[in-house]
């Protein structure tokens, strides 16, 4: 059996491959469906399959984890991912691909819940923050590299799917050498202890904190799932689009830690309002110069620097606003908000493209960010909440 340190890096490897497969699927399938003449609205609805799988499976992770242990559920989730990826090129039917996307979403959610909980539970308290930082960093690295797989379509539809499935399988095999463990009760309750009343109270106290994760999910799914379709329609080459899309996630790697530190000093609300304003400016720039590859690359990178950290900032803001007994419910709601945004993004963007084909795709993103900015700006904590909230 392997050491704890080796186990940590095996888990990080699984997370990286998971990010890689998610980052690959959205633009790859969007390009294939567009080349086959599928409408952008159907393309957008189809892209929600991954996040429907994530959303549906989220409330049911805790009991299997406690019964079977970390290794067992991670192996199951990882196997569901690489088997589903391998099946894509063998039958190109819309409904079949949608079901496979749902299966990948379920597998990824199981994998993420198991690895994140295992890393958190087994890390020393003084190193826990650094361990989770590695977790987020390597997922983003995988997600950044995934869209590059669209370049392999020129060698045949089998190549990108089977290659990603093979990579997932190779990392999955490493987990077989790891000894299974079962979580202590306190590490397994995030998905099992919150009633609907607790969810309702969490939403009432901290609803602005759930908007940034929703907006990030909307952005991530839309940029990866619908922008390739739009980019092809306005005359850009698929290979160039595969380099533009990852610039959003890549740029966010440089700003996440500095923005987190800044929010500790001047308050979460101020930082969120600032980055959302910067995101609006970045995507207005993209709309104005969408015909230029260099300008698109620059605006995507600028957008990533500003709004690429919305998910983590939202979680921190939620932690400020909720009492400790509601933090498990708050974490679930942040994840669900991300999934809802990821489902709405491709659907609404594809619908707008079909309804107003001459309207710039980027105005959909700008409109959402304006709504989020206004809602958070107008939010005023109730007297009861002010006792629990950090300075904002």
The answer, yes or no, to whether residue 391 has pLDDT greater than 60, is no
**Which residue carries 């590299």 as its tokens?**
145
| Residue 131 binned pLDDT confidence (cut-offs 50, 70, 90) | low
DSSP structure class, residue 178: S
Domain end among 192, 208, 239:
192
Reply yes or no on whether the pLDDT at 152 is more than 80.
Answer: yes
Q: Are residues 357 and 318 in the same domain?
A: yes
Nearest by Cα to 362 from 314, 313, 310, 295:
295
Mean pLDDT of 144-158: 85
Q: Which of 191, 369, 357, 358 is nearest to 280 (CA)?
A: 369
Q: Is the pLDDT of residue 190 over 70?
A: no
Q: How confident is the model at residue 304 (pLDDT cuts 50, 70, 90)?
A: very high
181 and 212 both lie in a single domain: no
Q: Which residue has the higher pLDDT, 327 or 233?
A: 233
Q: Given this model, what pLDDT does residue 392 score?
A: 44
Residue 306's pLDDT is 95
| CA quadruple 258, 264, 266, 272: dihedral sign | positive
Compute CA distances 58 → 188, 328, 329, whole Å.
Answer: 13, 13, 12
Residue 337 has pLDDT above 80, yes or no: yes
Contact 276, 307 (CB under 8 A): yes
Question: Is there a single domain that holds both residue 38 and residue 97?
Answer: yes
Are residues 129 and 257 both part of a single domain? no
Question: Which tokens hold the place of 189?
Answer: 């309750």
Alpha helices in 289-361 (DSSP H): 293-307, 310-321, 327-355
Together in a domain, 230 and 184: no
- The three-point CA angle 223-310-48 to 5° equals 40
Shared domain for 200 and 183, answered yes or no, is no
CA angle 202, 207, 212 (to 5 degrees): 125
Q: Say how many residues make up the chain.
A: 392
Mean pLDDT of the chain: 83
Is pLDDT of 184 > 70?
no
- Using the 3D structure, point to which of 168, 192, 216 is the last residue of a domain: 192
pLDDT at 194 over 60: no
SS3 label, residue 150: helix
Residues 162 and 277 in one domain: no
Report the pLDDT averaged over residues 238-263: 83
N-terminal to C-terminal alpha carbon distance within the chain: 48
CA–chain centroid gap for 331, Å, is 14
Which range is most confident: 49-58, 163-172, 223-232? 163-172
Q: Per-residue b/e over 30-61, b at no fewer than 16 CB within 10 Å?
A: bbbbbeeebebbebbbbbbbbbbbbbebbeeb
Who has greater pLDDT, 241 or 279?
279
Is 60 exceeded by the pLDDT of residue 130?
Answer: no
Amino acid 191: pLDDT: 42
Question: What's the pTM value of the predicted model, to 2 decimals?
Answer: 0.73
Mean pLDDT, range 69-90, rounded to an integer: 92
Q: Are both 307 and 220 inside the same structural domain?
A: yes
| Separation between Cα atoms, residue 65 and residue 389, nearest integer Å | 32
Q: H helices within 36-92, ranges in order?
A: 40-47, 49-57, 62-68, 70-87
> Coil, helix or strand for 225?
helix
Q: pLDDT, tens digit, for every residue of 89-106?
A: 998 888 999 999 999 989
Q: What is the mean pLDDT of residues 113-129?
A: 66
Residue range 141-155: mean pLDDT, rounded: 84
Neighbours of 183 (CB within 10 A): 19
Please give the pLDDT value at position 342. Answer: 82
Q: Are 143 and 18 in contact (CB under 8 A)?
A: no
Percent of the chain with pLDDT over 90: 29
Q: How many domains does the chain have?
A: 2
Q: Give the residue, 316 or 16, on which the prediction is more confident.
A: 16
pLDDT at 19 over 90: no
**Residue among 349, 371, 348, 343 at smallest CA distance from 361:** 349
pLDDT bracket for residue 297 (50, 70, 90): very high
pLDDT number for residue 187: 43
pLDDT, tens digit, 9 for 90 and up, residues 354-372: 888 788 889 999 999 999 9
Domain that holds residue 231: 195-392
Using pLDDT thresholds of 50, 70 and 90, give the confidence band for residue 60: confident
185: tokens are 């009760």
| CA–CA dist 49, 350 (Å, integer) | 15
Please give the pLDDT value at position 34.
81
Query: Do 342 and 267 share a structural domain?
Result: yes
pLDDT tens sequence across 227-245 = 888 888 888 887 788 788 8
Q: Both 111 and 199 in a single domain?
A: no
| Domain final residue pick, 192, 222, 248 | 192
The answer on 363 and 317 residing in a single domain is yes
| Structural tokens at position 112 | 């993420």
Distances (CA, A) of 177 to 24, 120, 180, 290, 391: 28, 20, 9, 49, 47
Domain of 77: which CATH number? Answer: 1.20.1250.20
Do residue 370 and residue 228 come from a single domain?
A: yes
Residues 259, 267: Cα–Cα separation, whole Å: 11
Name which residue leads in pLDDT, 246 or 81: 81
């Amino acid at each position: 059996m392997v050491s704890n340190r080796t186990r940590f890096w095996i888990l990080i490897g699984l997370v990286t491959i998971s990010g890689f497969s998610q980052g690959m699927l959205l633009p790859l399938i969007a390009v294939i469906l567009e080349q086959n003449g599928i409408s952008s609205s159907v393309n957008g609805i189809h892209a929600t399959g991954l996040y429907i799988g994530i959303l549906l499976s989220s409330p049911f992770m805790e009991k299997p984890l406690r019964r079977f242990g970390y290794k067992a559920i991670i192996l199951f989730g990882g196997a569901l991912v690489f088997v589903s990826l391998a099946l894509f090129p063998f039958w190109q039917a819309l409904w079949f691909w949608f079901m496979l996307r749902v299966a990948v979403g379920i597998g990824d959610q199981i994998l993420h819940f198991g690895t994140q909980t295992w890393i958190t539970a087994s890390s020393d308290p003084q190193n826990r923050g650094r361990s989770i930082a590695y977790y987020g960093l390597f997922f983003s690295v995988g997600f950044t590299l995934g869209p590059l797989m669209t370049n392999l379509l020129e060698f045949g539809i089998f190549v990108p799917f089977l290659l990603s499935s093979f990579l997932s399988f190779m990392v999955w095999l490493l987990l077989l050498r790891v000894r299974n463990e079962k979580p202590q009760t306190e590490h397994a309750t995030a998905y099992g202890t919150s009633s609907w009343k607790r969810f309702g109270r969490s939403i009432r106290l901290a609803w602005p904190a759930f908007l940034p994760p929703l907006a990030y999910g909307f952005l991530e799914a839309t940029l990866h799932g619908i922008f390739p379709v739009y980019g092809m329609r306005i005359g850009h080459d698929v290979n160039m689009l595969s380099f533009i899309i990852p610039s959003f996630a890549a740029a966010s790697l440089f700003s996440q830690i500095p923005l987190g530190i800044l929010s500790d000093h001047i308050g979460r609300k101020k930082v969120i309002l600032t980055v959302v304003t910067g995101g609006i400016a970045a995507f207005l720039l993209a709309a104005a110069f969408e015909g230029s590859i260099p300008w698109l690359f620059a605006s995507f990178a600028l957008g990533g620097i500003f709004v690429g950290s919305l998910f983590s900032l939202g979680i921190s803001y939620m932690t400020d606003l909720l009492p400790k007994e509601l933090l498990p419910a708050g974490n679930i709601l942040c994840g669900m908000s991300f999934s809802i945004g990821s489902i709405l993004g491709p659907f609404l963007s594809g619908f707008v493209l079909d309804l107003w084909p001459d309207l710039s795709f980027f105005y959909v993103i700008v409109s959402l960010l304006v709504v989020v900015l206004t809602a958070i700006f107008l939010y005023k904590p109730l007297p009861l909440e002010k006792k629990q909230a950090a300075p904002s």
